[in-house]
Amino acid sequence: MDIKYKKGTPWNRALTPTMVKFREETGKNPVYRGKITGGFEYWMYWRKGASQKVTLKPQKPKPKAEVKKIFPKKGRTESEYLEFIGGTSRKFYEIQRTGNIVHIRYGRIGSPGTPKQMTFNSIEEAKRKYDKTLNSKLAKGYKRSKEHLITEASKKKH
């Protein structure tokens, strides 16, 4: 009977002679909190490989159809900078869409803010998300501010 020693396999029985040998050779326990350890699985793999000449199967390359493009699709850039000042709140929300990628940055005015990036499968999906988010913020009382966009553009030139 061949016992499968895989990492994370529950083990609530007595130690096998193989496990006892592992503990004697390495000084480590093969079982921790009722599960087989990765160290024991690794030791078993190399012990088996040395005596039985284990050969790994070569992996087949993925067909080109399965490989996804990681480069964004080209498209026009849209950008808005919104501010909300009311009561004790002084917040900003910046949203930018370039092709199929939407960049968002939000936080308190004067802070660097929290950046967030979303990548979509198509430019249309990104445009819908951009428009929906922009309209949602405007409905909540955020106001457009052109001054910040102008100062950011001038910083990039220098």
Q: What is the pLDDT of residue 128?
A: 92
Q: 23: part of which helix (H) or strand (E)? A: helix 17-26
Nearest alpha carbon to residue 6 among 53, 57, 44, 33: 44
Which CATH number is correct for 77-157, 3.40.50.720, 3.20.20.140, 2.20.140.10, 3.40.50.300?
Answer: 2.20.140.10
CATH 2.20.140.10 residue ranges of the chain are 77-157
Q: What is the pLDDT of residue 138?
A: 92
Q: What is the pLDDT of residue 1?
A: 36
Q: What is the pLDDT of residue 147?
A: 60
pLDDT tens across the length of the chain (158 residues): 356 777 777 777 788 888 888 888 888 888 888 888 888 888 887 776 554 544 556 666 655 554 444 444 555 678 889 999 888 889 999 999 988 889 999 999 888 889 999 888 888 888 999 999 999 999 999 998 876 554 444 445 44
CA distances 10 to 31, 73, 158, Å, are 9, 47, 61
Q: What is the pLDDT of residue 131?
A: 92
